[in-house]
Every structure is written in structure tokens, then in C-alpha cells.
Amino acid sequence: MERYNSRVIDEMGKVVLPGDIRHKLGLNESDKLQLTSIATVVIAIKTKDEPVADSPICVLDDLGRIELPRCIRQKHGWQTKNKLAVYNTDNIIILKLDERQIQ
């Protein structure tokens, strides 16, 4: 698994996915990512399907951002200006609260 720099959640609940990850996974503008919340992490997988129950879909915008649904942010206690660590492995992206900001 590779680690990338932290990304900040903006006022709209969006987070920028690092360009290296987008390139490595072949992600382009308007691609859909299915989000699954497991324990303390959110897993994002590229999909063309409709969402499965409790697995929302987000769309990659032209700036490489995805909007994290409010239900996921609330479940994890993620707020504006929180930093998320972004990891990738094979065909998935893993988002987790950056432990360096936890005291």
C-alpha cells in the first residue's frame, strides 16, 4: 500500500484525490466511485453500477475532487479542515483520518 500526503476536507465536504493515484487507477473526470465505510476507513472503488444499499456513489470532478457524503462524514466524525490520509492499493482508494492531527 502506498501513502500519499494528507488532503484537507473543504467547506463543501470535498477532498482532492492525489493526481498520482488518479493516474495510477485510470480515474478521469466524471468517473463514479462507490464508497464503503468500514470501521475507521472509507474505501472508494471505481464503478459504473448504481449504488448498493448504504454505499453511496460520488463523482470525480474536473479538479480531481470527490464530495464525501454528509452521512459518511458524520459517521466518522470528519469535519471541515480535517486532514485525511489517502492510500491506494491495486484498484481501491482508502481514506482515513490522518493520525498526525490526532492528539
Mean pLDDT, all residues of the chain: 90
Mean pLDDT across the stretch 30-54? 87
pLDDT number for residue 55: 82
Cell numbers placing 73: 462524514
Distance of CA 58 to the CA centre of its chain: 9
pLDDT above 70: percentage of residues in the chain:
88
Q: Does domain 2-101 sit in CATH 1.10.357.10? A: no
Predicted confidence (pLDDT) per residue in 63-80, tens digit? 999 999 999 999 999 999
The pLDDT, as a whole number, for residue 3 is: 65
pLDDT tens, residue by residue, 3-29: 668 999 999 999 999 999 999 999 999
Q: What confidence score (pLDDT) does residue 53 get?
A: 66
Give the pLDDT band of residue 100 (cuts 50, 70, 90).
confident
Cα separation, 50 vs 63, in Å, equals 23
* C-alpha dihedral sign at 9, 73, 39, 34: negative
Domain extents in the chain: 2-101
pLDDT band, very low/low/confident/very high, at 99 (cuts 50, 70, 90): confident
